[in-house]
Amino acid sequence: MPSYFTDLAQQYIDGEWRPGTGSWDVIDFNPYNGEKLASITIATVDEIDQAYRAAARAQKEWAATNAYARRAVLERVLRLVEEREREISEVLVDELGGTLGKAAFELGIAKEFLREAIRLTLSPEGQILPSPIDGKENRVYRVPVGVVGVISPFNVPFLLALKSVAPALALGNGVVLKPHQDTPIAGGTLIAKLFEDAGLPRGVLNVVVTDIAEINDAFLEHPVPRVISFTGSDQVGRHVATVCAAHFKRSVLELGGNSALVVLDDADLDHAVDAAVFSRFVHQGQVCMAANRVLVDRSVAEEFTEKFVAKVRTLKAGDPRDPRTVIGPLINSSQAEAVSSIVTRALAEGATALVLGETRENLVEPSVLTGVPADSPLLRQEVFGPVVFLSTFDDEEEAVRLVNDTPYGLSGAVHTADVERGVAFARRIDTGMFHVNDATVHDEPIVPFGGEKNSGLGRLNGESTLEAFTTTKWISVQHGRGGFPF
């Protein structure tokens, strides 16, 4: 295995690689075979403080650096990702349990986001606005917020960390990144290494590997960061938002989902089956946009279900390093147990298993369930694994009601032969994103990404990222002598 799991199993603070000083270690395991990949002594509250103070010191000079020089650093990062793509892919497979296909998918999108971050370095623009006062000039500058705290998740850690880290740095901010404990390399120190090798000045980016049990809310409450970018569950996101609000910080929250893929009576069923299988089972269903629910018009339900079940049965579960594998392991035993218990509960509530997968340690095979009672909480929660609920509806009104009957509002999709019918349907759904004749899982660098309801606050990507990681400053200039009322 590459030296990443030994060389990068440290904290990265103020340009130095060093062990944490906490009293215990984060153990990084391969979720497929249980192999110990790395052991990292956790960072303490004091080291959180050191990381934020380093970012604050370095940020001033970094913000004053010519934007073209900042752009050159990002360009070098992109070249390094391209040069090291094979090694990074191996990290993603071993640390996440993601398949080779998923690693290629994640890296491909990550490179696009780096290209967008490169563009963002030259994007901030100011304004000169008129004034009702003679001789006054109003200048509005767009400036970095200062320091951004980023908390990355375990499911798509390399992409979702870079998605905040790269543009925040491009726009002149300092960053402290806290990766998930299950993916400290892919979602944390690997990114620090890339920026270090690309020539980012020391202290601008810091990575702390730690745990809430050690630091409590120190990462959120620290006075230095002005923005916290968090990707994770809605339960934790609610807490992040509460703490940030209490400390007058901006929070950008990309949270969970309970997406539905809808098949109308005129849909291309073969295409809808392909989209639905991908939407549910990509990365074992550990994707916030994944289609937990597939809703099918009753008139085509029998044909769709037969084709859908047949395709699901072909999905090979096993070793993520095998190119034939589609379903790899879930990230840890807790996730595997949680998903298995959902299947058990659904069957106890009266559901029928059209496909009933087995669970072998962290490897959970696909399950397709139908007949889940309409009032079951299972239909309204996020399921982070390879389980799908298949339901029918009689008309579009019922379909809209079913799709919206969830506290989440992230993504979704509808399939129909009439594109405008699909768009009209999509506009009635309470989500931040919706797709016509496609999968529910999409992310593009210049399109606003985010959810409604319990699926988050704010948006990322493109101009939304510019708004997230910068602020405006009004400077007025009075030419000549102004008048005052007294």
pLDDT of 389 higher than 50: yes
Band the pLDDT of 483: cuts 50, 70, 90: confident
Q: What is the pTM of this model?
A: 0.96
Question: What integer pLDDT is reported at residue 219 of this predicted model?
Answer: 98
Determine the pLDDT at residue 161. 98
Distance (Å, whole) CA 245 – CA 477: 33
CATH fold match for the domains 4-255+455-474 and 259-436: no
* Residues 362-385 pLDDT 10s: 999 999 999 999 999 999 999 999
Q: Residue 29: its pLDDT value, please?
A: 97
Tokens 């740095």 belong to residue: 169
How far is Cα 97 from Cα 377, in angstroms, rounded to an integer? 29
Q: Would you say residue 1 has pLDDT above 80?
A: no
pLDDT at residue 121 in the model: 98
User: What is d(CA 474, CA 141) in angstroms, rounded to the nearest whole number?
Assistant: 6
Q: How far apart are the C-alpha atoms of 351 and 266, rounded to whole Å?
A: 27
Q: Can you tell me the mean pLDDT for 314-331?
A: 97
Distance CA 25, CA 10 (A): 11
pLDDT > 70: what percent of the chain?
Answer: 100
CB 189 within 8 A of CB 210: no
CA proximity to 327, closest of 353, 356, 301, 363: 363
Q: How far is Cα 435 from Cα 179, in angstroms, rounded to an integer?
A: 30
pLDDT tens digit sequence for 62-73: 999 999 999 999
Beta bridge partners of 457: 253
**Residue 289 pLDDT class (50, 70, 90 cuts):** very high
Task: Over range 124-146, report the average pLDDT.
Answer: 96
Mean pLDDT throughout 291-301? 98
Question: How far apart are alpha carbons 340 and 330 in whole angstroms?
Answer: 11
Domain positions in the chain: 4-255+455-474, 259-436
pLDDT tier at 320, thresholds 50, 70, 90: very high
- Band of residue 138 on the pLDDT scale cut at 50, 70, 90: very high
Catalytic residues: 254, 288
| Averaged pLDDT score across all residues of the chain | 97
| Residue 3 pLDDT grade (very low, low, confident, very high; cuts 50, 70, 90) | confident
Instruction: Compute and round to an integer the Cα radius of gyration of the chain.
Output: 24
Q: Among the CATH numbers 3.40.109.10, 3.30.1130.10, 3.40.605.10, 3.40.309.10, which is that of 259-436?
A: 3.40.309.10
pLDDT for 112 equals 98
pLDDT in tens, 97-109: 999 999 999 999 9
Question: For position 31, what pLDDT does the model report?
Answer: 97
* Structure confidence at residue 482 (pLDDT): 84
Domain 4-255+455-474 in this protein, CATH class: alpha beta
The residue whose two tokens read 């960072």 is 43
Cα first-last separation, the chain: 75
